[in-house]
Structure 1
Amino acid sequence: MSAKIWEAEWDVSEDLAQRLIGRQFPQLAARPVRRLGHGWDNTVYRVGDEYVFRFPRRDIAVELLQREGMLLPKLADRLPIPFPKPMFYGGVDDEYPCPFLGYTYVSGTFPIGLSDEQRTASAPVLAQFLKSLHSTPVSIAKEARAPLDHRNLRDVAARKERMQRFLSDLSALTQEEEIRTVAGYLERLEIGPLTQSDVLLHGDLHFKNMLVDEAGRLSGIIDWGDIGIGHPGCDLNIVYSFLPAKARSRFFEEYGEVDEATKGLARMMAVYIPMLIWMQALDAKEEAVAAEARAVIRRALED
C-alpha cells in the first residue's frame, strides 16, 4: 500500500486530554472524559454529557480546526440540522503543541447498515440542509480566510488518476467484486465542463461525518474541518453515497436541479471518498466500517 496519509503525528491519551481540559477550562475539570475515537485529523473525546473536544493529530489539522472555530458560529441560525457549536478554544500547552477545540455534543450514531427506506426518509432534510448551506453568502467564508477549491475538485483527470492508484492499493488487499465494478466505472468515466458556481461547502460529507437517531433519521452533521468554498458537486456526493437511487429525484426536487456535469462529479466523489475510508478501515481492521464503505460504493454506482 502507498503511504498511509491518515497516520497520526501526535496522539492524545485520555489522561492527557483530562489534564489539558482541566487546566484551561477549570469549570470542566470534574467532568468525566471518554475517548470517542479518531478520524484522519483529530482525536475526539466526550466531556460529560454536553461537550466534545477535538485534538489535532496531524499538523495539517491545526488550520482546519481554527477555521471551524471562526466559521461555525456564523452558521448557527442558518442550518436546519444540528452541528457542533464551538464553545471552548484551547491553546498550546507544555504537554501538547497544538490548539484544540471544544464543542456542544451532538447525539447520534453513524448511519451504518440503514435500510433504503430509512435513508429515503432523510432525503428532504438532507436537501434542505445542503440548500441552506450552499445558499449562504460565500463572503462569510472569505472573511474567515476559507480556501477556494482546496481539493482541486475541478481537475477531474488528476482525481481519476488518483482513484486508479487507490484501486491498485485495494486490489492488493482484497478480491471484492467492488474492485472490478470501480475499474469498469473509471474506464467509462467522462465528465463535461464544470460550470456550476462556487458555494460554501462542508467539504467532507460521508457516513463517518453524519449522525442518525434511533429511527435512522438524519440528526447531525459533524467534522467541519474541510469547510471552504468550491464546487457544489463535492457535497452533493452524498446524494449518491447516502441515498438509494430511488430517492435522488426527491432530493433534487427539494434542493433544486443541477446540471449533468455536477451530478457526474458528485457521483465520482461518492466513489472516491469511500475508497479512502475502505483502505483506512482495512489497515485498522475495522470490519464494519470497511463493509459500509463497500456498500457505499455499490450504492453510488446504482442508476
Structure 2
Amino acid sequence: MESSNQWDAEWEVSEELAYKLISSQFPQLATKSVKKLGHGWDNTVFLVGAEYAFRFPRREVAINSLRMEGKILPKLKDYFSIAYSIPLFFGEGDYNYPAPFLGYPYLFGEFPIGLTDKQRALSATTLAQFLKGLHAFPVQIAQENGVQHDHRNLTDIAMRKEKIHKFISDLALHFSEEEYHAISNYLEQLRTERVNQKYVFLHGDLHFKNILVDENGRVSGIIDWGDINIGHPACDLNVVYSFLPPDARSDFFKEYGDVDEETKILSRLIAIYIPILIMMQAIDDKDERLVDEAKANIKRALSD
C-alpha cells in the first residue's frame, strides 16, 4: 500500500549516493566526509566536511524551486546582514538520481528549540531588520529571475481554517484537551474570511526548522529558501507570533514598521498553520522533540 503523506520522498538520497554525486562533480570535495543532517518536505541535507551543506530534492515539485533559488539567492546579499544560504556549488542529476542539487557554506547554529521567552525576545529587532530588508527586495527583479506569485491562495482564511479543523481532528490524540480546545476556540472566534492580497518578496517558509540561533539563543542565520515567492508579507510575519513572545512583538513592529490589522490576523493564523504541518511530519517521523516544539509555537501564537 502506497503512503500518501505530502512530505513522502519520491527519491531517497543516501550518504553513499550523495558522496558519489558530489565527488564526481566537485573533485575538490572528494576527500571530505558526507553525513546526513536531516530532511524536510522537499530536500535532504548533508554536511560535507565541516564547511558545506548540500541540499538534494526528494520530490519533483522541489526541482524548479531549487533552480530558481540558485539564481536569486546571490542577489539578496545587499538587502540584509544576517547570514543566509548562498549557493556555491551547482550540481546536476547523475547515477539515476534525476534532480539538480546545491551546495552552500555551512551555517553554524542550532534550531531554536526549547528557548526561553527572554532568549526569544533578544531577536525581535534582528528578525525585524531581516524581514524589512527581505520584503524590500524589488518584486520586478524577483519576477525576472523566475520567482512565482504565491500559488497557495494564502489570503483565503476560510479555506485555511477548514484545513486546520481537519488537521487537529486527525491529530486529536496528540493534543491535550486544553491544547485542542485552545485551537478550536481561536478558529471559532476568527470571523475574517479573506484579506486583501499584497505583493512582496518572501522567504515563504519561515519557521523554527529554517531559523538558526547562536549559543545565546539569538537568531544568527536563515536557511532553506526553497519556497521563495511573491505574496502577502503575513507569510513571513508569522514568526512575530510563532517565534516571539507577546511582550516582544511591539519591539519587532517598531523596527519593521507597523502593519494593518488584516496582516496581523493572517500572520497569526499562519503561525498556527505551519507548526501543525511540522507536527504532522514529526509524528510520522516519531520525533517527539519536534512535536513538542511545534506545540509550543502554537501556544505562543495563541497568546496575546
TM-score (norm 1): 0.97
- Report the secondary structure of 1:234's partner residue: helix
**Over 2 Å off, 4+ runs:** 172-177, 190-197
Structure 1 residues 176 and 44: CA distance shift in structure 2, 3 A: farther
The match for 2:189 is 188
1:119, distance to aligned residue in structure 2 (A): 0.4
Structure 1 residues 302 and 93: CA distance shift in structure 2, 3 A: same
Work out the percentage of aligned pairs sharing the same amino acid.
Answer: 60
Say what the alpha-carbon RMSD is for the aligned residues. 1.4
CA distance in 2 between partners of 1:96 and 1:79 (Å): 35
The match for 2:272 is 271
Unaligned runs of 5+ in 1: none
Given that 1:170 and 1:179 are in contact with CA atoms closer than 8 Å, whether structure 2 keeps it comes out as no
Q: Deviations over 1:38-74 (max 9, x none)?
A: 1110010011122110001011111111111111011
Given that 2:202 and 2:230 are in contact with CA atoms closer than 8 Å, whether structure 1 keeps it comes out as yes
CA distance in 2 between partners of 1:15 and 1:192 (Å): 49
> 1:218-229 alignment to 2 at 5 Å?
218-229=219-230
Q: Deviations over 1:72-117 (max 9, x none)?
A: 0110221221001111110121331111111111110000000111
Worse overlay, 187-196 or 65-74: 187-196
Structure 1 residues 57 and 197: CA distance shift in structure 2, 3 A: same
CA distance in 1 between partners of 2:176 and 2:122 (Å): 33
CA distance in 2 between partners of 1:192 and 1:251 (Å): 26
The match for 2:287 is 286
TM-score (norm 2): 0.96
The match for 2:63 is 62
CA distance in 1 between partners of 2:177 and 2:208 (Å): 21
Letter in 2 for 1:93: D
Matched, 1:253 2:254: yes
- Report the secondary structure of 1:89's partner residue: strand
Matched, 1:112 2:110: no
Unaligned runs of 5+ in 2: none
Matched, 1:238 2:239: yes
The match for 2:88 is 87
The match for 2:72 is 71
Q: How many residues align?
A: 302
- Report the secondary structure of 1:235's partner residue: helix
Letter in 2 for 1:206: H
CA distance in 2 between partners of 1:97 and 1:192 (Å): 41
The match for 2:11 is 10
1:176, distance to aligned residue in structure 2 (A): 4.8
Letter in 2 for 1:156: I
